[in-house]
């Protein structure tokens, strides 16, 4: 960010955040977090969106389990973590805020937070590695729907599911807006 003299000395110039091809640029991703923005395919009667292709190179393979989640408006689901499972989140309809917190001892981005507002308008596959805390909030006035697929099936006898309360002091983010 560059400050400029004149024209309001407190003014700060925005850094570039999108390429000429309209690809979003993010250089602040937590270690192991990956995104892949998908282009909608406009058809004569609507549009088609690819949700996954192995040649994108962002997903943990093989995919072993897929779920569809619907959240009511304003709902927050936080905080959640897997120790061995990788999440792959893809919003099908609505707008979802996904917040990631890196508390992994061996991570170069430990203590970092990423915030993503993902929707079907700019479809994006978001990959959340094991050990990263994540929470979500429906930002819309209607239901938000997303698909989450995993690199291992859910273990009913011994779930790889770890939770903290939404207002935990262990995570420096609050879903307040």
Q: What is the CATH number of the domain that holds 54?
A: 2.60.120.10
| CA–CA distance, 21 with 143 (Å, rounded to integer) | 30
Q: What is the pLDDT of residues 100-122, one digit of tens each?
A: 999 999 999 999 999 999 999 98
> Does some domain include residue 58?
yes
- Identify the band that residue 7 occupies on the pLDDT scale cut at 50, 70 and 90: low
Q: Would residue 127 count as lying in a domain?
A: yes
Contact (CB, 8 A) for 34 and 128: no
CA–CA distance, 101 with 82 (Å, rounded to integer): 12
In a domain, 90, yes or no: yes
Residue 85 has a pLDDT of 95
Instruction: Judge residue 85's burial from the number of C-beta atoms within 10 Å of its C-beta, 0-12 exposed, 13-18 middle, 19 or more buried.
Output: buried
* pTM, full prediction: 0.84
Top-confidence residue, 164 or 40? 164
Residue 119 has which token pair?
Answer: 């929707």
Q: Is residue 49 part of a domain?
A: yes
Return the bridge partners of 136, or none.
77, 98
In a domain, 18, yes or no: no
pLDDT at residue 5 greater than cutoff 90:
no
State the total domains in the chain: 1
Predicted confidence (pLDDT) per residue in 52-84, tens digit: 889 998 887 899 999 999 999 999 999 999 999
Residue 78 in domain: yes
Is 121 inside a domain boundary? yes
Domain span at residue 77 reads: 34-162
Q: How far is residue 52's CA from residue 32's CA, in Å, rounded to a whole number? A: 18
Average the pLDDT over each of 37-46, 76-85, 139-148, 160-169 and give the range with the smallest value. 37-46
The pLDDT, as a whole number, for residue 159 is 96
pLDDT at residue 116, as a whole number: 96
């Amino acid at each position: 960010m560059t400050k400029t003299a004149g024209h309001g000395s407190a003014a700060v110039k925005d850094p570039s955040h999108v390429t000429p091809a309209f690809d979003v640029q993010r250089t602040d991703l937590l270690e192991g977090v990956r995104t892949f923005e998908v282009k909608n395919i406009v058809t004569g009667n609507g549009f088609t969106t690819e949700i996954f292709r192995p040649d994108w190179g962002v997903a943990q393979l093989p995919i072993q389990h897929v779920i569809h989640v619907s959240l009511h408006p304003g709902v927050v689901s936080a905080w959640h973590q897997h120790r061995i499972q990788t999440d792959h989140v893809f919003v099908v309809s609505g707008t979802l805020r996904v917040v990631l917190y890196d508390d992994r001892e061996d991570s170069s981005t430990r203590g970092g937070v990423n915030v993503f507002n993902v929707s079907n308008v700019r479809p994006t596959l978001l990959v959340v590695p094991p050990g990263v805390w994540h929470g979500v909030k429906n930002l819309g006035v209607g239901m938000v729907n997303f698909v989450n697929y995993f690199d291992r099936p859910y273990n009913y006898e011994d779930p790889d599911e770890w939770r903290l309360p939404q207002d935990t002091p262990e995570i420096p983010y609050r879903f307040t807006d």
